[in-house]
């Protein structure tokens, strides 16, 4: 089998994981995290249930793999080895510097305690 055929197969499987993760975590967030009258995607309650009891950023874990899945589907070695890893590092930095800072502002000590108990990502 050629290199690109293999990378396409792996990329499609990985992309499916990305999409399923986003779908599942979005639904989980919407249940307890949304109060009556809140705008779409505006979570105004710290969600610590379900998958959020295992890791703080499950949706971002899925999105973390999006650049790699697209790189694999495209099949470009430069994209796979250089561009995708740089984008993946950028995603982690954005979570750490922006997302977590905003969560601390929004939820205060509750988020700080949650952060101490639950890892950013968990591969178990």
Residue 94, domain member (yes or no): yes
Structural domain for 25, as ranges: 3-117
pLDDT tens column, 70-80: 999 999 999 99
pLDDT tens column, 52-91: 888 998 888 888 899 999 999 999 999 999 999 999 999 9
Which residue from 121, 99, 123, 122 is spatially nearest to 111, judged by alpha carbons? Answer: 99
Task: Report whether 65 contacts 17 (CB < 8 A).
Answer: yes
Residue 124, domain member (yes or no): no
Residue 122, domain member (yes or no): no
**38 against 18, higher pLDDT:** 18
Q: What total number of domains does the chain contain? A: 1
Residue 123, domain member (yes or no): no
Return mean pLDDT, the chain. 86
């Amino acid at each position: 089998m050629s290199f690109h055929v293999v990378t396409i197969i792996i990329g499609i499987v990985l992309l499916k994981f990305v999409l399923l993760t986003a779908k599942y975590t979005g639904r989980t967030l919407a249940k307890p995290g949304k109060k009556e009258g809140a705008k779409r995607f505006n979570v105004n309650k710290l969600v610590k249930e379900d998958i959020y009891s295992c890791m703080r950023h499950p949706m971002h874990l899925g999105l973390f793999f999006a650049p790699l899945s697209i790189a694999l589907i495209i099949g470009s070695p430069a994209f796979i080895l250089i561009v995708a890893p740089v984008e993946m590092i950028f995603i982690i930095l954005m979570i750490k510097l922006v997302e977590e800072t905003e969560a601390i502002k929004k939820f205060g000590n509750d988020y700080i305690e949650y952060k101490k108990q639950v890892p950013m990502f968990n591969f178990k």
